[in-house]
Structure 1
Amino acid sequence: MMNIMGFLNLAEMGFSSVVAFALYKPLFDNDLASVGEVLSVFGYVYNRIGFIILICGAIIAVFLPGFFKGSGFSDEIIWATYFTYLTTTLLGFFVNYKEVLLAADQKNFIKVKTFNVVKIVKISTQILCLICVDYGVYGWLLLEFLFLSVYSIFINLQIKRLYPQLSSTARSGKALKDKYSFIYQKARQAFFHKFSSIVLQQTGGILIYMYSNLSMVTRYANYTLITSSIYTLLSSVFDSTNAAVGNLVAEKDDKKILSVFWELQVSRYWIATCMVYVTYSTIDLFISVWLGADYILSFDIKIILMLNLFVMLTRKTNDEFISACGLFKDVWAPIAEALLNISVAIVAGNLFGIVGIPLGMLLSTLLIIGIWKPVFLYREFIPEKKRYYFLRVFKYILVSLGSIFIAEKFPVLYLYSGNKYFDLLSLGLEKTFAIFTISWIVYYVVALEMRRFTKRFSTMIRNKLFA
């Protein structure tokens, strides 16, 4: 269902990232009139996209029972689940479109806090519903819709409170669309980047279903659920700097741009190293505790998934600067990435089985995200020679590998008790402490950028605590 929703979201065409780019300058200049106009155009476009998704979604619904034939679920549950997901998806296009303003104005923490509070209460209530109500699945779906509706109300109230003088309506956006025609131009370019992202995220399960069965899709999805949750969590943290990067680009201070760029890079390589190592060390035990040992995937698939996670986490800095500069014109790159991903996945799937599916994603992201994107960013914006980027990144990778090697040699204090929950917690805490401490020390010693980042971060914490 989520794969299908992902492809329907392709109709969004990347407008949200383009609008965030369009908002940086008026927000920097405190021009609320222009901010309101941009949001009005965005609302008008998003409403139209919402209607397209609604029509396409209704057509797809006719064929759903055939797609899930043999799954053991009734047609009623399939349709109820699908229309719940479709309705909650449409909320973003008809109701929640203004939340892009929070991300552009360095207030994304408000959105994240509101969403996570609602999500925690929602999941807790859904658990009680499944336990206590005879028709728990339908209750679970109803709560999914109700709580996301509550989130929509809260976030719009927050925006109204923060920007009481802001005036914007989707209806007025139609008259303004010619004035902001550059948004459409950038969006056409961003569409291809959005398309590539959807292909990378959504085709894995479908291709595995082609080469195996729904049971294997489920086992694979359990692992990707964990890695995607980690990516989503860290993205929420990393995205807090999006608007700051937008302001930095607007200032046009080359020295400051380079300093911040490399502080962000080194911090994300450090955090990515730690999170990937901890995930690699504990994911099999987590799956065993959660679902049972039968759901553990092979070692080679796990390694490829961890490498994919590392690449996706370390790409964020380049993506931020590309988005802040509105650099979406390399439309060939996402097309090549998507084609390469699917081609390698199909060929490797035939040769090696399901291990070839994530291999396609890894190869395409390494070539396009790991090599082309920094070359493109440096050519268009970063005031530094390209070779310095790759030399520094190579140094970071060596530091990360060295840190993992030392952490693996670290004396094991793992306290085996026989209680699977305690054992998982004990192993997780030990691996987390070891890799975060060791890798920070090594990065701090060999990388000036890490020392600058540590100083900046500690100063920020002190100011927060003693303000």
Structure 2
Amino acid sequence: MTRKTKLMLNSASSLIYQMITIVCGFILPRFFLSFYGSAVNGLISSITQFLGFISLAECGVGAVVQSALYKPLANNDMQEVSKIMKSADRFFKRIAYILLAYIAILMVFYPLITLKSFDYFFTLVLIFVISISSFVQYYLGMTYRLLLNADQLGFIQYSIHSAALILNTVSCILLMKAGTSIQIVKLTTSLIFLIQPLLLAAIAKRKYKIDHKIQYAEEPIKQKWNGLAQHIATVVLGNTDTVVLTFLSTLENVSIYAVYHLVVNGVKQIVVSMTNGMQAMLGNMLAKNETDELNRSFSHIEWFLHTLVTLVFSVAAVLIVPFVRVYTTNISDANYIVPAFAYLITIAQASYCLRLPYNIMVLAAGHYKQTQWSAIIEATINIVVSVVLVFNFGLIGVAIGTLAAMAYRTIYLAWYLSRSILYRPLKHFLKHILTDTICVVLLFGLVKLFSAFFTMGQISYAAWIILAVKVGCAALLSNIAVNAFLYKREVSDAVKKMRHKI
């Protein structure tokens, strides 16, 4: 199987998995509300939030492990692969013991908080069955999942995850309709998700000859702590806005932020899902010193992602306020129509996505130590600017902080790539940014010039969908026109590939 075939499979399966996740994420909570009520649904959400610590506790080491595997896999050096796998397995087992202790403490003390609403044993059992699902997904067979990803076989796990999500959704709905308790429903979820890591482990063990008894004198995973530093900075960056608004603003502003973030984060996740598999492919080329092929592939990926991000986020910028207007109909306890904030938070998340090709290349090269300070500076900028501006500007101040931080690191990563990895002129990045800006300005100009055409006839989802189709077509045409002028070769290659596939 070629690298391009693997990339296509990884990107397609990741996108399908992301879409299934979104759909199932909307369906199940609705059934929980219908069959068990808001109190139980709130309890599930709260417990899941507390157990969310489990997904963060791998401390960014997973990405470092994956990067360390590229070269030995490319060279078919199974001895080095075995050393990395053994080191990673030891690390994750230590983390697993810590998490088991955390779950035990949670089971003892958390039910005391909800005694007014739920029996102690009711909550304790619920925590136990939900924790099984959270725990096995992240720590049972994680090393095998990382190994498959590093070998550009991520589509295997995405396919298994997608099937598990669909099976879980159907099973939970059937059990709820049969009148079973919430504990049985959640236990079923845990058992279904338990199958995923077992399958992945079985597939990996059959494909790779890992020596689990191998000994090593020198640590094979060099940058564990650098991965941890970047991971902490990323977590801080992702949570700063909500924390700052909670402590220094109002809960109404937190609610407004959450609604807009729901939209832009959904768009971001879809874009990110399309990059899965690219890092492993580039890492493989880098490990094999295929410099010319690496530069060509990176240039295509860079153009594709800039074009995609500009297209979807320019559309999101136009549609986000009309969507929120429909979404918050009949809600009058806060003013959810904040266009300036909407534009800023959309540009901030677009900036994050524009860094993806450069960040992917940095991670593929394993340059965690070299770039860790940029991650720390990014998080610091977000905190400082947000805290300073939130008092006078509220939501807008926080959005400016996020935009400033993300714009800084995007520019830094593009600069670092040109200086330390691919050694290409920074003008390539600047030309892309100029192209992106022209596309956005052109779309907003069309929307402003033909404002009567780009207006919702009424406040409804149907009217919003019609508007979305109009804006989407306008954005697509403007992007094609601009790129056909500034990136003739890339557009020509894309058209040829589409013709060939058709």
Q: Same fold (TM over 0.5)?
A: yes
Which residue of structure 2 lines up, in the alignment, with residue 152 of structure 1? 197
Alpha-carbon offset, residue 306 of structure 1? 0.6
1:82-110 CA deviation, whole Å, 9 max, x = no partner?
66665444321233331112221122122
Structure 1 segment 176-255 matched on structure 2, within 5 A: 176=216, 178-179=217-218, 181-183=219-221, 185-212=222-249, 214=251, 216-255=253-292
**1:342, 1:4 → 2: CA distance?**
23
**Aligned 8 A contact 2:87 2:220 in 1:** no
**1:293, 1:119 → 2: CA distance?**
33
2:436 pairs with one of 386, 392, 397: 397
Alpha-carbon offset, residue 430 of structure 1? 3.0
Ranges in structure 2 where 5+ consecutive residues have no aligned partner: 1-45
Alpha-carbon offset, residue 211 of structure 1? 3.3
**Aligned 8 A contact 2:358 2:414 in 1:** yes
- What letter is aligned with 2:384? S
**Aligned 8 A contact 1:130 1:139 in 2:** no
Greater displacement, 215-224 / 111-120: 215-224
* 1:106 counterpart = 2:146: no
**1:320, 1:5 → 2: CA distance?**
29
Alpha-carbon offset, residue 193 of structure 1? 1.1
1:30 pairs with one of 73, 76, 92: 76
Structure 1 segment 359-374 matched on structure 2, within 5 A: 359-367=400-408, 369-374=409-414
* 1:45 counterpart = 2:91: yes
**1:201, 1:103 → 2: CA distance?**
24
1:298 pairs with one of 333, 338, 362: 338
Identity of aligned residues (%): 20
Q: Let me know the Cα RMSD of the aligned residues.
A: 3.6
**1:68, 1:363 → 2: CA distance?**
41
Which residue of structure 2 lines up, in the alignment, with residue 345 of structure 1? 386
**Aligned 8 A contact 1:42 1:97 in 2:** yes
**1:67, 1:115 → 2: CA distance?**
33
**1:285, 1:412 → 2: CA distance?**
14
Helix, strand or coil for the counterpart of 1:238?
Answer: coil
Structure 1 segment 277-316 matched on structure 2, within 5 A: 277-287=314-324, 292=329, 294=331, 296-316=336-356
Ranges in structure 1 where 5+ consecutive residues have no aligned partner: none
Helix, strand or coil for the counterpart of 1:338?
Answer: helix
Helix, strand or coil for the counterpart of 1:331?
Answer: helix
Q: Cα distance 1:416–1:210, how it changes in 2: closer, same or farther (>3 A)?
A: closer
**2:467, 2:121 → 1: CA distance?**
43
**1:144, 1:423 → 2: CA distance?**
37
**Count of matched residue positions in the alignment of Structure 1 and Structure 2:** 450
**1:192, 1:114 → 2: CA distance?**
31
Alpha-carbon offset, residue 247 of structure 1? 1.7
Alpha-carbon offset, residue 307 of structure 1? 1.0
- What letter is aligned with 1:300? A
**1:77, 1:297 → 2: CA distance?**
41
* 1:434 counterpart = 2:474: yes
Greater displacement, 22-31 / 125-134: 125-134
Greater displacement, 261-270 / 244-253: 244-253
Greater displacement, 209-218 / 326-335: 209-218
1:143-185 CA deviation, whole Å, 9 max, x = no partner?
5433322333343344345x1x43255xx47x44x44x141x3
**1:215, 1:73 → 2: CA distance?**
28
- What letter is aligned with 1:93? Y
- What letter is aligned with 2:263? I
Which residue of structure 1 lines up, in the alignment, with residue 60 of structure 2? 14
- What letter is aligned with 1:400? C
**2:428, 2:238 → 1: CA distance?**
27
Greater displacement, 434-443 / 414-423: 414-423
Alpha-carbon offset, residue 44 of structure 1? 1.7
Helix, strand or coil for the counterpart of 1:399?
Answer: helix
TM-score (norm 1): 0.82
1:382 pairs with one of 411, 419, 422: 422
1:100-148 CA deviation, whole Å, 9 max, x = no partner?
1222112212222222232234345545666774855x56644543332
**Aligned 8 A contact 1:341 1:361 in 2:** yes
Q: Cα distance 1:193–1:439, how it changes in 2: closer, same or farther (>3 A)?
A: same
